[in-house]
Amino acid sequence: MQSKVTLQFVELNSSLTLSQLYAVLGKVAKEVGKVYEKSGDETLAQLAQGYYSMKKEAKGLSKLVEKQLQEYDMEILKSSAILIDSDCSTMASTICSTIITGLGAIACIWIASPCGIWYPVCHAACLVAWAAASGAFCTWLGNTLCGEATTVEQLGCGAACEVICLACPSWNLACVMCSPACEQVCNQIF
Amino acid sequence: MDPPYGAILFLAVLSIFAVVISMRQARRKRDKTHYIGAAVGFLMLSVFTLALLNQALLAFIILVVGGLAFIATLPRAMALQKREMDEQLAKAVEETDLSEPLRLRDFLKWKGWLKLAYKWGVWKTASIYSILGATIIAGVSYTVLSAFNMMNVWLAVGYTASATIIIFILFHRQISKALEKTKQNL
C-alpha cells in the first residue's frame, strides 16, 4: 500500500492564548482543505476530508481549553505548529522514532562515558547505532499497531532513514518529517 | 512478520549498558542525576518486553508517556556530561606542557591531541581525529551489520558519514575550549 503524507508549517507572528492557537489552527486546516478540494487533483481532493476533520477537532480542543482547562489557557509569546495528514502506521512510527531517538541521546551519554579521549567516537557510534536499530523497531511497531504487515525492505528503509535524518538538526521543525519522507521515497525505490 | 529480533536485542544490550554504567556512576559520584540513565534503560527494556509479548499498544503508550517525561530531563543530562567532560579537560590542561615533544603514547590521552592542536591548529587535528574515528566506526558498522545479516553498503556508508559529522563537531568543540585554557596557562 502506498502511503500519502502531507504537512503544513504554521508560524504565528503574534502572541495568543492556547485556546486561540487551536482556533487559528482549525481555521488554517479548513483553508488547506478548501484549497485541496478545489485543486482539481484527485489525490489532493481525497486529502481534503482529513483537513476538515482536523478543523473540527482543533475547534473542539479550543473550546475544551477555554472552558475546562483555563489554568493552561495562558498567553503564548511565540508559537509554531505542523499540521500533518498521514496514515496510521506512518504517524505511529514517526512518534515512536522521535521519542526513541531522544531517549537514545540520553542513554548514549552514559554508554559512551567510559571511553575517555575517545568519547566523541563512542558517543557518535552509539547515537547512529541506536538510530538504526530504533528505525527498524519503530517501523515494525507502527505497522503492528495499525494491523499492517511489515516487509524486510521496510525495516531496512526505516533503519537507513533514521540514520540519514540524524544529520537533520532537531531544532528545525521540518526535521520531524525527515524520516517519514525519506522512508516514503526509500519504500518506492525498493 | 516476526519482530526485528536483531534490532531489539541490540537496543536491549545498549539499554542494559546504560543501566549498569549510570548506576555505577551514581553510587561512585553520589549524584542522583546519574539515575536518569538507569531509568531510561529500564523504560526501554520494559517497552521491548511488552512489544515481544504482543502488547504493541501498551508498549507504545508507555513509550510515549515515559519517553516524553524523560526527554524533558535531556538538558540536565547534557549539562552533567558537559560538567564531567570539562573536569576531565581541566585535569588534562593542568598536566599538559605544550613545549614538550609529541610522543605516540600521548595520543591515548587528551595530552597528545592538545599538543597536536597547538602545533597544527584545531581544524587539522579535528579532521585527523574524525578520520581515525570514521575508520573505527566503519569497521564496527561492518561487523555489527554482518552479524545481524543486514549488511548493505549504503547503510554502512550512511552510518559512517553521519557518525563522522557528529565526531567532528563534538571533538572540535572540546579541543578548542581546552586549547584556549592551555594557552591561558602558558
Instruction: Single out the residue of A6, A190, A19 nearest to residue A84, CA to CA.
Output: A6
- Res. B158: pLDDT tops 80: no
- Res. B60: pLDDT tops 50: yes
The pTM of this model reads 0.75
Instruction: Single out the residue of A11, A8, A56 nearest to residue A32, CA to CA.
Output: A8
Q: Report the SS3 class of residue A73.
A: coil
Are A109 and B37 in contact (CB < 8 Å)? Answer: yes
Q: What is the pLDDT of residues A69-103, one digit of tens each?
A: 888 898 888 888 878 777 788 888 888 988 998 89
Write down the pLDDT at residue A151: 84
Write down the pLDDT at residue A107: 93
Q: What is the pLDDT of residues B113-136, one digit of tens each?
A: 888 888 888 899 999 999 998 888
Residues 124-153 of chain B with CB under 8 A from chain A are 129, 132-133, 136-137, 140-141, 144, 150, 152
How far apart CA B51 and CA A101 sit, in angstroms, is: 18
**Using H for helix, E for strand and C for coil, what is the string for chain B?**
CCCCHHHHHHHHHHHHHHHHHHHHHHHHHCCHHHHHHHHHHHHHHHHHHHHHCCCHHHHHHHHHHHHHHHHCCHHHHHHHHHHHHHHHHHHHHHHCCCCCCCCHHHHHCHHHHHHHHHHHCHHHHHHHHHHHHHHHHHHHHHHHHHHCCCCCHHHHHHHHHHHHHHHHHHHHHHHHHHHHHHHHHC
Measured between beta carbons, the chain A residues lying within 8 angstroms of B137 are: 121, 124-125, 128
**Spatial contact of A83 and A10, defined as CB atoms under 8 Å apart:** yes
Are A160 and B56 in contact (CB < 8 Å)? Answer: no
Q: What is the pLDDT of residues A150-161, one digit of tens each?
A: 888 888 888 878
Q: What is the pLDDT of residues A49-67, one digit of tens each?
A: 888 888 999 999 999 999 9
The residue ranges of DSSP E strands in A13-94, in sequence order, are: 16-17, 75-76, 79-85
Mean pLDDT within A164-178: 70
Positive or negative CA dihedral for B149, B154, B156, B162?
A: negative
Measured between beta carbons, the chain A residues lying within 8 angstroms of B22 are: 110
| Amino acid in position A175 | C
- Res. B46: pLDDT tops 50: yes
Confidence of residue B50 (pLDDT cuts 50, 70, 90): very high
Q: What is the pLDDT of residues B79-116, one digit of tens each?
A: 888 888 778 777 877 777 777 777 777 778 888 888 88
Q: Express as a percent the part of chain A with pLDDT over 90.
A: 24
- The segment with the largest mean pLDDT, out of A23-27, A83-87, B84-88, B140-144, is A23-27
Sequence-distant (6+) residues with CB within 8 A of B69 are none
Per the listing, cell 584556549 goes with B180
How far apart CA A17 and CA A76 sit, in angstroms, is: 6
- Chain B interface, best mutation among A97, A103, A157, A183, by max B CB count within 10 A: A103
Strand A79-85 relative to strand A6-12, pairing: antiparallel
**Spatial contact of B44 and B10, defined as CB atoms under 8 Å apart:** no
Q: Which residues pair with A75 in a beta bridge?
A: A17
Using only the alpha carbons of chain B, give its radius of gyration.
Answer: 20
Sequence-distant (6+) residues with CB within 8 A of B120 are none
Q: What is the pLDDT of residues A3-22, one digit of tens each?
A: 566 777 788 888 899 999 99
Which stretch of B46-50, B65-69, B146-150 has the lowest confidence by average pLDDT? B146-150
- Does the ipTM exceed 0.90? no
Instruction: Single out the residue of B167, B160, B164, B165 nearest to residue B140, CA to CA.
Output: B160
Please tell me which residue of chain B has the smallest CA distance to A165. B162
Domain boundaries defined on chain A: 6-85, 88-189
